[in-house]
Structure 1
């Protein structure tokens, strides 16, 4: 056994000091070498901030530093430094800031201080280099192909979300055939997981001077990959370019589009300041090895950070941090808007009204859009936090007496399970008709209209009330009979499936005791309640729990989405306590 490795770190003089790495030049086969400089963040040398994916965290590589010290590093950081070194002018060192080298990760106090000033570290860098991994799977060819597609695909599609399903989509007549190997290379580039990591996302947003590198190849436009994804969503490119759900457990499709939107908002020509709640909502799809980093990675960007008085504290558990964060958000702006970030399943043990920002389910954001609804009428939020309870003014509307099967699995693919989908539709329609025969729907609409409107939340892609043209789309779905169906029928059936997925992928059909038909959270059961909360455009499902309720999620109840609750003779304002 050799002598113990000397630590390369000496203490930082103040919480606003940083270290930068001067990376020595070298040939690709030579070991990494460099030296650390200690400097003030308010007057640093010219440096670049490196953003990269940590990967497994296992440190199988190393870099030799001054005084003979050796620092173990991960394979991913080793790859990044090797390629950065090759990109530097011949014989010259490259000065970079890389968290795993420039922060003493074993010193918890220093780690917290450095994470607290991360926004300044990246913001003051000469540029941010986002390294998305080494050259592999023909990535250089994929980058060139993406640029070619960006130049030549000038027309955008009809705005429907074909990209949610790899079996759907249109192919532009001038595009190369899908057998072209460049499509495979580009799909592999999209599947690189750097975009799903919350710290990579945070660092992507902090500096106007941003360079993406794949191997030693620079990607000329920071938005190139996300732009390709968006063009698939809008049917300008084949939907098979995007991964299927089983290939994309990290929701890379949503992460890439979220990165584009966030960077455009934060650093666009109209500089936008976002609250912590807004940042958490928009960055919900991103992932972190440490769930606390879902909050800490965006805290430095939050316009209300000082008002919330949240500090980076790695001695706090993730559960405690999420509860404190949610409470402070509600206290700073007393609304029930935070409920929209609560998904149908949680990984952490939390009060039902506290979002679990550590997990994500694809497509969840689209289900919460509410511009086309006004279930609360002209009421305003009345909300307060009492310990771990959320008290909200509202009204208990009705009791659920019937729930159907989960809707989402029947709309994963248009071409798979056509007969099964039709059988499911018929079964659900018959059961709802049977329920309404006993408890008539309080309205004069025919049951079939109530049925298809509820499936799509009675709204279009643009959040407008669906017209009778959508019944034609529903009828086309019933007529669709696989690959032999006419093109017009196929297109119409696809459009209706898209509408169902957007609104109801995590819902199930339900009937209430007063005969209302709705789409409720997939976790809802018979005997659960539907409620209206003041100031909120949607309705919600809750479950009785002692003196209060467990929050289940937002719901659509046909006939009660435009203030009708307030006009009903049974309306009674009350305080609803969510446990």
Structure 2
């Protein structure tokens, strides 16, 4: 009955902590409630750093104790221990409690009653206590229910995502952190390490770099980081925390306290994701070339790992480190590529890779039926998630030496390249093995698209994008080309679709300073484009478009499909257990129409993986010699709409509203050069102002040309006439439009392709339509098949259109438009854009409210600047008053 005699409830009893800590650990409900009513500190910790709430949750014997503690405000979760998090992740009572509590608040906040909930999901009423502060509303006016819900979210988040005790110190210029990973006797031993700050320009620096996939799991695997035992700033000294040693018992308590404190100060915890933990465990054990463990020696492995060596919570540091990431991989002695743990016969595939170069050098390499299992295992390796990451393009391109690691087996990257090249060269023969094998017959479709896979692209990456030795390399492509071409590689953060390839572009200097190849602009006038994670997605994408427009003097970027418009959804803490270890659901990002979306590109992936055609090829990327020139070589007149505000506002709240431009025009209109200037205190409002020439409105439009089917009636509208006396009459403009006037070899097509269309018309189906897919499968005549394959590339899932009869100066009114085009949309030629585009007014009754960019179009007779030549004609100007105008794209 000490409490009744005025005892101090928060006194600490040595290593056991306060009375509340002990009562919570023992799950004594009445005692916990009594202590809380007397003002006990719910955050008091014992010598191990655990509060009573942690012990109660770990023991899991009494739910009410946890509830009593959680309902007190100010719950701290920074010292959450791994065992507690493990208990909750294993599905104990607290997970169910959170879900029931979440349902309760959802019901009551929406006007429902908690009586509608099942009996087992209702919270029991709190025990009566006259002195409990929880029985009265708080003085700050915030309802107790909302405060409790907030504390539950904070507490539950700490359980699902245990927080480490390691704290980063800031990095200086040109400094990086390196992980010194200590060896261990067994893979399952704890991960122990030290994190050191070094200068990247140190000539004596030796380290390896790790390339891996982050995965979708939460960071739950513990890594111990040795910190050297420095005193944590702002915390009391060790002596001030020790109990006085007046008795033998208290002296023993003092020793236990000191040992515990020394361990906690010297070793800090850091949590990593499971795939990274697996990689560190497989890499750290031993080094050396001997296959026998006895022949190897323990050795500390010095690694650079992005997740650990960069403070992911510090956007300034993350931006600075990403800017020098290419140098980090250049300086590394080698790069370890972690494909994952063993599985799907990976050891067979890895051993097979080691055999291929040796057999090829001896002229013994061939494709035999007995090799079918090995090739199957090899294909499974090529489908590992690492090959789909966009960041690995840079990591591999700048590596001095690279090694693939899968489980305990390692192979040289060069050996893997030889295996892939041989596989692609003999692909048809290898696929035939599976056709003849009952065991692998069902896997034909699973690797039938491997020719277009990311693994094959990765193999050719250095030859396509970089030339020269490992020490001195020339970057060959622009940032616009890289972002547009590497669409098969994924990025978890949409901003990384640009940032991940900046170091590979020749027009982005190291340090992200902009330059032009012809050096026509003074250095002081060149804007910079830097990695900056403080900016939201819209601002980064706007800066990229402005960068492309400024550098190329072209508007072609608005016709390319490059931008991911989906990202992982931020889950409520109560929903996280449902997606643990799985890819979280995606949410769409609302972006302006002048930012081409990746989902609208020519190729996409089916639900089971293979890449298939879903749309026609981009017209601006058509390899035509010479290329299209609808704008007549005129430079773009582009302004970007901006408003006052911080460009680093929370990108999770990004939600562009389709505003009425006439009623609420942009506060600022700035050039591409000015958009790229830093620290201007303004951000994009999602509008782009372009100048162009209006041709005419679409009067009639076809259905979607599904899989390249050409309807009979649109052949007629395109000018085809069937005559008995002199045979079919096919206008030259018709077959050239179907091919977009580009032969498969990139040249202007010869008239013989007109005959190929005649052959296709003669082979129409029962509905008089041309089914291009069926005719291609027939395989003859070869010229017709060649023609129809090119036609599919142009018209797939697009639409035919007819312009108005009043279209002045245009001889041929039949063209090809995007799948989303409709009657009433206008066909325009924009200054700086090599192909015509289709614009759709946001408000038909008031075009001043802006236009949506529908996409690029093909209209024969305007693809080489004829519109502007016509506009310069004196007779044309006398009869027509049309002039170039400004369009606001939203």
TM-score, with length taken from structure 2? 0.53
1:21 and 1:371 map into 2 onto residues whose CA distance is 47
Q: 2:860 aligns with which of 555, 558, 561?
A: 558
Cα distance 1:483–1:331, how it changes in 2: closer, same or farther (>3 A)? closer
Does residue 288 of structure 2 align to residue 288 of structure 1? no
Q: Does the residue aligned with 2:500 lie in a helix, a strand or coil? A: helix
Cα distance per residue 1:84-105 (max 9 Å; x no partner)? 2357322222211111122232
Aligned residues of 1:285 and 1:360 also touching (Cα < 8 A): no
Q: Does the residue aligned with 1:204 lie in a helix, a strand or coil? A: helix
Q: CA RMSD in A?
A: 4.3
> Which one is further off, 283-292 or 261-270?
261-270
Could you say which residue in structure 2 is the equivalent of 1:99?
306
Deviation of the 1:493 alpha carbon: 7.1
Q: How does 1:259-338 map to 2 (within 5 A)?
A: 259-269=458-468, 271-272=474-475, 274-302=477-505, 303-304=507-508, 305-307=512-514, 308-338=527-557
Could you say which residue in structure 1 is the equivalent of 2:192?
33
Cα distance 1:224–1:457, how it changes in 2: closer, same or farther (>3 A)? farther
2:370 and 2:836 map into 1 onto residues whose CA distance is 44
1:246 and 1:577 map into 2 onto residues whose CA distance is 47
Does residue 221 of structure 2 align to residue 61 of structure 1? yes
Could you say which residue in structure 1 is the equivalent of 2:182?
24
Cα distance 1:238–1:328, how it changes in 2: closer, same or farther (>3 A)? same
**Rg: which structure is higher?**
2
2:450 and 2:772 map into 1 onto residues whose CA distance is 31
Cα distance 1:430–1:137, how it changes in 2: closer, same or farther (>3 A)? same
Aligned residues of 2:316 and 2:534 also touching (Cα < 8 A): no
> Which one is further off, 448-457 or 523-532?
448-457
Does residue 330 of structure 2 align to residue 120 of structure 1? no
Does residue 749 of structure 2 align to residue 466 of structure 1? yes
Q: Does the residue aligned with 2:703 lie in a helix, a strand or coil? A: strand
Deviation of the 1:179 alpha carbon: 9.9
Could you say which residue in structure 1 is the equivalent of 2:634?
380
Q: Does the residue aligned with 2:513 lie in a helix, a strand or coil? A: helix
Does residue 836 of structure 2 align to residue 539 of structure 1? yes
Could you say which residue in structure 2 is the equivalent of 1:205?
397
Aligned residues of 2:336 and 2:404 also touching (Cα < 8 A): yes
Aligned residues of 2:223 and 2:269 also touching (Cα < 8 A): yes
Cα distance per residue 1:275-327 (max 9 Å; x no partner)? 43333223333222221222332334444322342343333221222123322
Cα distance per residue 1:423-480 (max 9 Å; x no partner)? x43xx13244157599xxxxxx944765554343232332123345556766467589
Q: Does the residue aligned with 1:287 lie in a helix, a strand or coil? A: coil
Q: Does the residue aligned with 2:165 lie in a helix, a strand or coil? A: coil
1:356 and 1:73 map into 2 onto residues whose CA distance is 33
Q: How does 1:240-251 map to 2 (within 5 A)?
A: none
Could you say which residue in structure 2 is the equivalent of 1:577?
887
Q: 1:370 aligns with which of 622, 639, 646?
A: 622
Cα distance per residue 1:47-79 (max 9 Å; x no partner)? 111111111041232323323333221121122
2:773 and 2:466 map into 1 onto residues whose CA distance is 46
Number of residue pairs matched by the alignment: 536
Cα distance per residue 1:506-565 (max 9 Å; x no partner)? 522223335532221112112222222344432222223423432222222234434443
Cα distance per residue 1:2-59 (max 9 Å; x no partner)? 6336623440341422221122233334333322222112216311111111110412
Q: Does the residue aligned with 2:545 lie in a helix, a strand or coil? A: helix
Cα distance 1:259–1:51, how it changes in 2: closer, same or farther (>3 A)? same
Does residue 355 of structure 2 align to residue 72 of structure 1? no
Aligned residues of 2:345 and 2:377 also touching (Cα < 8 A): yes
Could you say which residue in structure 2 is the equivalent of 1:184?
376
- Of structures 1 and 2, the one with the larger relative CO (CA 8 A, separation 6+) is 1
Cα distance per residue 1:331-383 (max 9 Å; x no partner)? 44432121232469955323322345798662679534234243427433232
Cα distance 1:146–1:505, how it changes in 2: closer, same or farther (>3 A)? farther
Could you say which residue in structure 1 is the equivalent of 2:803?
512
Does residue 340 of structure 2 align to residue 88 of structure 1? no
> Which one is further off, 262-271 or 175-184?
175-184
Cα distance 1:344–1:293, how it changes in 2: closer, same or farther (>3 A)? closer
Could you say which residue in structure 1 is the equivalent of 2:592?
351
Deviation of the 1:81 alpha carbon: 1.9
> Which one is further off, 114-123 or 104-113?
104-113
Cα distance 1:549–1:482, how it changes in 2: closer, same or farther (>3 A)? closer
Unmatched 5+ stretches in structure 1: 155-173, 412-423, 439-444
2:443 and 2:545 map into 1 onto residues whose CA distance is 33
2:589 and 2:354 map into 1 onto residues whose CA distance is 41
Cα distance 1:267–1:259, how it changes in 2: closer, same or farther (>3 A)? same
Unmatched 5+ stretches in structure 2: 1-24, 26-47, 50-78, 82-163, 227-265, 289-295, 436-441, 515-526, 566-587, 604-612, 642-685, 722-727, 766-770, 806-811
1:272 and 1:141 map into 2 onto residues whose CA distance is 37
1:573 and 1:144 map into 2 onto residues whose CA distance is 68
2:358 and 2:835 map into 1 onto residues whose CA distance is 41
1:396 and 1:65 map into 2 onto residues whose CA distance is 65
Does residue 700 of structure 2 align to residue 402 of structure 1? yes
1:15 and 1:344 map into 2 onto residues whose CA distance is 32
1:310 and 1:301 map into 2 onto residues whose CA distance is 14
Could you say which residue in structure 2 is the equivalent of 1:527?
824
1:245 and 1:341 map into 2 onto residues whose CA distance is 33
Cα distance 1:487–1:389, how it changes in 2: closer, same or farther (>3 A)? closer
Could you say which residue in structure 2 is the equivalent of 1:502?
793
2:306 and 2:336 map into 1 onto residues whose CA distance is 13
2:360 and 2:783 map into 1 onto residues whose CA distance is 24
Could you say which residue in structure 1 is the equivalent of 2:410?
217
TM-score, with length taken from structure 1? 0.77
Cα distance per residue 1:472-506 (max 9 Å; x no partner)? 76646758999999974397776455424433335
Aligned residues of 2:211 and 2:392 also touching (Cα < 8 A): yes
Aligned residues of 2:222 and 2:270 also touching (Cα < 8 A): yes
Cα distance per residue 1:370-400 (max 9 Å; x no partner)? 3424342743323222425444444223332
Does residue 210 of structure 2 align to residue 50 of structure 1? yes
2:698 and 2:855 map into 1 onto residues whose CA distance is 14
Aligned residues of 2:188 and 2:281 also touching (Cα < 8 A): no
